[in-house]
Amino acid sequence: MNYPVRVLFLCTHNSARSQIAEALLRHLGGKDFEAYSAGNNPTGLNPYAVAAMTERGIDISQQTSKSVDQFLDQEFDFVVTVCDRAKQVCPVFPGDPKQIHWNFDDPSEVQGEEETKLRAFRQTATFMTNRVQALILTQRKILREMGLVKPPAAVAWVANTEEKVKSDEAQIAFEIGQK
């Protein structure tokens, strides 16, 4: 494992789900992680993703959609696909990264009023926060065991319950063990 831990989040369009995950890992993971995101068919940042993250105090308005092709020659510790389509066409990356799959529904496919659409992005951000926090916990534990980081005096998490983090931490540990 590298330090900092390098993580690439992939989805189809790199417009919402993977952008949210990248921003959350940068925000919550601090200097222990390098977060990136890309898509197989990038289309531009979704304004509802920007709004949902702004409500959480995280500005993603300057992030851009990127093609997975930009990253094919880079090594990562983890490649996380956040939709089934991205998993199906996930390329091979150098360095044999661990692959994790989190299947999140595409909030941009939700139809309805503005508030209904924004609610879908908020929900995605909440669920994604839980998964990202669990990834951080599992990897920081390993980094501490390797002597690369010291235990924090206090950890501030965004809108979460300890039980949910433990559940997601166990799921991620299982997923990593299966790869």
Q: What CATH number corresponds to the domain at position 163? A: 3.40.50.2300
The Cα 86–Cα 38 span in angstroms is 10
Q: How many domains does the chain have?
A: 1
Please report the pLDDT score of residue 159 as a whole number.
Answer: 40
Please report the pLDDT score of residue 47 as a whole number.
Answer: 96
- Predicted TM-score (pTM) of the model is 0.83
Please report the pLDDT score of residue 53 as a whole number.
Answer: 97
Closest residue by Cα to residue 15 from 3, 23, 25: 23
Please report the pLDDT score of residue 154 as a whole number.
Answer: 46
Positions marked catalytic: 11, 83, 90
Please report the pLDDT score of residue 173 as a whole number.
Answer: 66
Closest residue by Cα to residue 79 from 122, 118, 40: 40
Q: Find where tokens 């959350």 sit.
A: 24
Where do runs of H (alpha helix) occur along the chain?
Answer: 17-29, 47-55, 84-88, 114-145, 162-178
Domain of 49 in residue numbering reads as: 5-178
* Tens place of pLDDT per residue across the chain (179 aa): 889 999 999 999 999 999 999 999 999 999 999 999 999 999 999 999 999 999 999 999 999 999 999 999 999 999 999 988 888 888 888 999 999 999 999 999 999 999 999 999 999 999 999 999 999 999 999 999 988 887 765 444 444 445 566 666 666 666 666 55
8 A C-beta contact, residue 104 and residue 127: yes
